[in-house]
Chain A
Amino acid sequence: MNTIAFAERTRGGRPFLDARLAGNLRGALWLALIAAAIGLFVMAFGSPFIVRLTATAFINLIAVVGLQIFMGNSNVVNIGHAGFMALGAYFTAIFATPVMIKATMIPNAPFGLAGVEVGALYAFLISVGLTSLIGLLSGLVLVRLAGIAATILTISILVIVQGVLVTWTDLFRGAQAFFGIPKVVGLGLIVAAAAAVLVVARLFKGSRAGVQLRASATDPLAAEAMGVDVKRLRLVAWVLGSAVVGCAGALYALYAGTINARAFYFHTAFLTLAMSIVGGMRSVTGAMVGVALLTVLLELIRIVEGGITVFGIAFPEMLGLSGLMLGVIIVGVMCFRSDGFMGGHEIEEVVTALRRRLVARKREA
């Protein structure tokens, strides 16, 4: 909608909601509904394996949406988000795990944390809060840099978090798995959280701050000339994004019950990054599409990877095939459709365009 049409609509009669906000809300509800529908369907009919796969996919979705909030709006490639996922998971684990289990795992935890135990919900909230705080501190440094230097700094964050987790054995158990976290979260809660996060990301993207940030990503000079405070907006997006990613980690801890620092390193970072790219990192709908596409595809490839028999020919085990395909997909998407599957569009735009095309075709006929 161009500016003039927008102004005319607001002048003629006051709509109940600001048109832009209404559009964003509609798109957000679409996404939340689709996520909820998939979740409910799987909960009703899925085998335990499918349920587990879906739960992981939705946790990945939350992480990818968190990634989108910063990367999609500011156009700075972020690889450090897996570190925030680790922080979210570990903080939850430290606060939620029963004192009895902690007495054997981390008896010497500093700050008397070995004797602290709170309910899972509070642990979740504390963990997301702490992750956001670390996001704020790192963000203050990050916004001083732009472009590739900022990307390098996000990698540094990942390496530093991993180093601290592995070395500080008194608090994080080092390279050993942290187990005994109460498994209180099921697929239902994860889906609900994913739906909520989708709405948050859509509203942020459409908000004043989101629009200004996206403008600064397209043309920093023009945006600054218009009085956009790029640094502050990047900081806001970074903190919000790290809170969402931390939420993904926290849910993972409460779902799986056992976490390991190695699980939140470059592999996770690259996988979620690939999901974001394939769907189109500029759109929230793209995050969902990317997660869905890559989850299904990688699962299919994993069947081949384990060695299958087709028409009597036994194919050997092919470790690395899924990784190889992941790379091929990324390069292919970048070469032929660098904006990803959704091309930066959101679901309600696609629906409107489709409807318009149908109407036009009907009129022609």
Chain B
Amino acid sequence: MDYLIEQALNGFSIGAQYSLLALGLAIVFSVMGLVNFAHGEFIGVAGYAMFAMAAMGMTDPLLLVVFAMATVTLVALVLERIAFRPVRNAPSTTGLLTAFGVGIILQNLFLLMVSPRPKAVPELSALNQTVDVWGHNFTILQFLEVGVTTVAIAGLVWFLKGTRIGLAMRAAALDFTTVRLMGMRANRVIATAFAISGLLASIAAIFFIARRGAIDPFMGLLPVLKAFVACVLGGFGSLPGAVVGGLLLGFVEVMLIVLLPDKLAGLRDASVFLIVGAILVFRPQGILGRRVELGDKTA
């Protein structure tokens, strides 16, 4: 029973990370139809920003975290401006491939400017201390992951429901032209979407880095693939779907870590993708996605 509770929290905390990443993907996708393959590199940006600052002598974890979050948000805005704006009205395949190119650029920049080998970022490792709660062993990080994610999602809901630009973003998911006719600036709506997606990714990134304690140029690839899977699972473009998909993925992953013997550890990721494939066969539109027939006016 103890074990079960510990693993359940584990599933929640890993799922929370995927949810944050998946939410960022879904926001950008719903507003401008871009499948942002470079989203995972935001994790790398956060990691290398922290690494660079730590190397220059800033050791206060809190300052590092704030700096990393600011950098990622800024990078997201810059990328939107220089790479994704030219392909905004292009077919979705073009956007996908552009994002994929941006991802390759960022990975190789890390590789070129720092090192192809992993680097240690130990500043956040204090979060991995275990605490004793009613006889169970948890790490501070797990509570932080669940708590911060909940707060972030609540904040996002408030932003989308309570502010004018949030309303514009929700409307843009349905009909961007009308949003522009109402006098909202397209650039501002899309830039806000990117900023939010970067901010959420940076929170997830900090948890990833705290768990691993190290960074490497290609660390963003697998998390973003899983975030994609979470999005597809929940129904691509649906925000609640992204959260549900992310949590589900976290649970599946923890379940596999527990169930698969060490000899088959290499199959962990493969099994996750296999299970997801199986779910998609029976529900191609995802869990919360609505079935869209060809020619439906509202997609």
Interface string of B262-274 (1 = CB under 8 A from A): 0111111111011
Residues 250-282 of B at the A interface (beta carbon under 8 Å): 263-271, 273-274, 276-277, 280-281
Interface string of A211-241 (1 = CB under 8 A from B): 0000000001100100000000000000000
Nearest Cβ in chain A — how far from B79, in angstroms? Answer: 10
Chain A residues near B162 (CB, 8 Å)? none
Chain A residues near B90 (CB, 8 Å)? 334, 338
Classify chain B's interface size.
Answer: 35 or more
Cβ-based interface call for A133 (8 A): no
Cβ-based interface call for B109 (8 A): yes
Nearest Cβ in chain A — how far from B149, in angstroms? Answer: 23
Nearest Cβ in chain B — how far from A254, in angstroms? Answer: 27
- Tell me the bound Cα distance from A266 to B86 in angstroms: 27
Chain A residues near B35 (CB, 8 Å)? 148, 151
Cβ-based interface call for B127 (8 A): no
Partner of B109, one of A77, A270, A324, A334: A324
A153/B280 contact (C-beta < 8 A), A159-B269, A159-B273, A330-B98 known: yes
Cβ-based interface call for B112 (8 A): yes
Chain B residues near A224 (CB, 8 Å)? 294
Partner of A270, one of B86, B92, B104: B104
Say whether chain B's binding surface is mostly helix, strand, loop, or mixed. Answer: helix
Chain A residues near B83 (CB, 8 Å)? 331, 335
- Tell me the bound Cα distance from A348 to B93 in angstroms: 26
Partner of B108, one of A153, A166, A174, A324: A324
Say whether chain A's binding surface is mostly helix, strand, loop, or mixed. Answer: helix
Contact B284 A149 (CB under 8 A): yes
Residues 100-130 of B at the A interface (beta carbon under 8 Å): 100-112, 116
Nearest Cβ in chain B — how far from A190, in angstroms? Answer: 27
Chain A residues near B232 (CB, 8 Å)? 148-149, 152
Partner of A156, one of B221, B236, B264, B274: B274
A159/B225 contact (C-beta < 8 A), A221-B294, A338-B94 known: yes
Partner of B97, one of A163, A174, A277, A326: A277
Chain A residues near B217 (CB, 8 Å)? 320
A330/B101 contact (C-beta < 8 A), A152-B228, A266-B221 known: yes
Pairs across A and B, CB under 8 Å, 19 listed? A141-B281, A146-B284, A148-B96, A148-B232, A149-B236, A149-B280, A156-B274, A159-B273, A266-B221, A273-B100, A318-B112, A319-B112, A320-B109, A320-B111, A327-B104, A330-B98, A330-B101, A334-B90, A335-B87
